[in-house]
A = this chain, B = another copy of it.
Amino acid sequence: VSDEAASGRGTTLKALARELGVSHTTVSNAFNRPDQLSPALRERILDAARRHGVTGPDPAALWLRLGRTGQLGVLFTDRLPYAFADPAAVQVLQGIATVAEHEATALVLVPGSPTVDRGTHAVATAAADGLIIYSIPPDDPLATAAFARRVPTVVIDQPRQPGLPFVGIDDHHAARALTEHVLELGHRRLGILALRFTPHSPGGDASPSRQQSITEPLTASRLAGCREACAAAGAAWEEVAVYECRESSTSQGRDAAAALLAHTPAPTALVAFSDVLALGALDAAHTAGIDVPYQLSIVGFDDVPSGATARPALTTLRQPHLEKGKRAAEQLFSLLRGQTAAPSALLPTELVIRRSTAPPAR
């Protein structure tokens, strides 16, 4: 019974059975159905198992036999490493992890793919009984491969899929409320730090014509919300400068703010689609010697902790990230238990006014 090293696998239950002179089944029962054998024999078997470092049946065999792995798959954006750069996204994952810990369930984080094929493979192959999909472009091969699995699935934010429960917020409404706040302060020349328009668009200053080509639903909804607020306030949308940020990072926020501020006339208020982006803009303003909020107002979106402690503290639109993750995980677990799917959840958002906004100068 010492083929462990060679096989890369531990001692098998069968080997244990042979050693003890009992049947394969009996060893299995010792682990799974204690009532099927005498306590004495069971102890003898468990003892031998311990001696051989066997903690239980082989997980690969279990999966094949039982058809479940006890693990949840998580598609955490199409660019796994980038997602960790935004605390808002991390909170979503933390929410998922909170539920997973409680259920003693492991989480399989599936990376998207530089190359299409291998990415498809990783999702198709992920050892998971169900999937949580967070912020994936609707036409991404990752999403396609995920849906092809046909396992219980819950979607957070994007992509909404007919028939699948999702958890999210009303992005349109939220962006409108945020923009209204800025407009009500009297600003008319706005700059928007938007998120990406399509999975592979180049980023940068976005002419109105480029705004036609947006395929990312989240960006489209928010931009539409901004536009609606402007229309209601009688502010000309053509004069709103939009900059596309490819990812939510402070460095993109800095670049975007610098570009936006170089417009003539310069915007008096910047609306960022994430706090991380807004924090980058804040930094750019500091560097340029621009006083926030008296020379420039900046608003974010998300309400991450560092926005609250920034100087000036960031006005933002709060959304419940932790709750998003928790809800999605809970829904997935009830799906897995065969309960009928909970209805999709639209979570509440809230405008949080702090110190980074003020009426325009002059």
Q: List the interface of chain A (C-beta within 8 A of B).
A: 4, 7-10, 53, 55-56, 58-64, 67-71, 73, 79-81, 84-85, 87, 90-91, 93-94, 97-98, 100-102, 104-115, 118-122, 124-127, 145, 148-151, 250, 279, 283, 305-306, 309-311
Residue of B with least CB distance to A68: B8
- Chain B's closest residue to A98 (CB) is B81
**A341 to B124 Cα, complex, angstroms:** 31
B residues within 8 A CB of A149? Answer: 10
Known: A94-B81, A118-B104, A311-B311. A127 touches B63 (CB 8 A): yes
Shortest Cβ gap from A158 to chain B (Å): 20
B80-A97 in contact (CB<8A): yes
Specify how many copies of this chain sit in the oligomer.
2
Further 7 A-B residue pairs, CB within 8 A, beyond A55-B124, A58-B64, A63-B64: A59-B124, A63-B127, A69-B127, A70-B122, A81-B101, A106-B126, A311-B311
- Residue of chain B at shortest CB distance from A62: B125
Pair B81/A104 contact, Cβ less than 8 Å: no
What CA separation (Å) do A114 and B103 show in the bound complex? 10
Report whether A119 and B104 are in contact in the complex, using a CB–CB cutoff of 8 Å. Answer: yes
Q: Which of B68, B70, B87, B309 contacts A87 (CB 8 A)?
A: B87
CB closest chain-B residue, reference A66: B60
Whether the pair A59, B94 counts as a contact (CB closer than 8 A) is no
> What CA separation (Å) do A125 and B105 show in the bound complex?
10
Is B80's CB under 8 angstroms from A127's CB?
Answer: no
- The smallest beta-carbon distance between A93 and chain B, in angstroms, is 6
Measured CB to CB, the nearest residue on chain B to A113 is: B104
Select A90's contact among B59, B90, B150, B311, beta carbons within 8 Å.
B90
Known A64-B60, A127-B108; judge A53-B8 contact (CB<8 A): no
Give min CB distance, A304 to chain B, whole Å: 9
Q: Which of A68, A90, A115 has the most CB of B within 10 A?
A: A90
How far apart are the CA atoms of A51 and B132 in the complex, in Å? Answer: 25
Residues of B within 8 A of A71 (CB): 108, 126-127
The interface residues of chain B lying within 8 Å CB-to-CB of A97 are: 80-81, 84, 109, 111
* A100 contact set on B, CB distance < 8 A: 80, 109, 111
Contacts of A126 in B (CB 8 A): 59, 71, 106
A176 vs B69: C-alpha distance when bound (angstroms): 46
- Cβ contact of A106, chosen from B87, B111, B305, cutoff 8 A: B111
User: How far is the CB of A36 from the nearest CB of chain B, in Å?
Assistant: 20
B residues within 8 A CB of A93?
A: 84
A94 contact set on B, CB distance < 8 A: 81, 84-85
Chain B residues lying within 8 Å of A10, measured Cβ to Cβ, are 149-150
Say whether B122 contacts A102, CB under 8 Å.
no
Can you list 17 A-B pairs, Cβ within 8 angstroms, ordered by A?
Answer: A8-B67, A55-B124, A56-B124, A60-B60, A60-B63, A71-B108, A80-B97, A84-B93, A85-B94, A100-B109, A101-B111, A104-B118, A104-B121, A106-B109, A106-B127, A109-B109, A306-B309
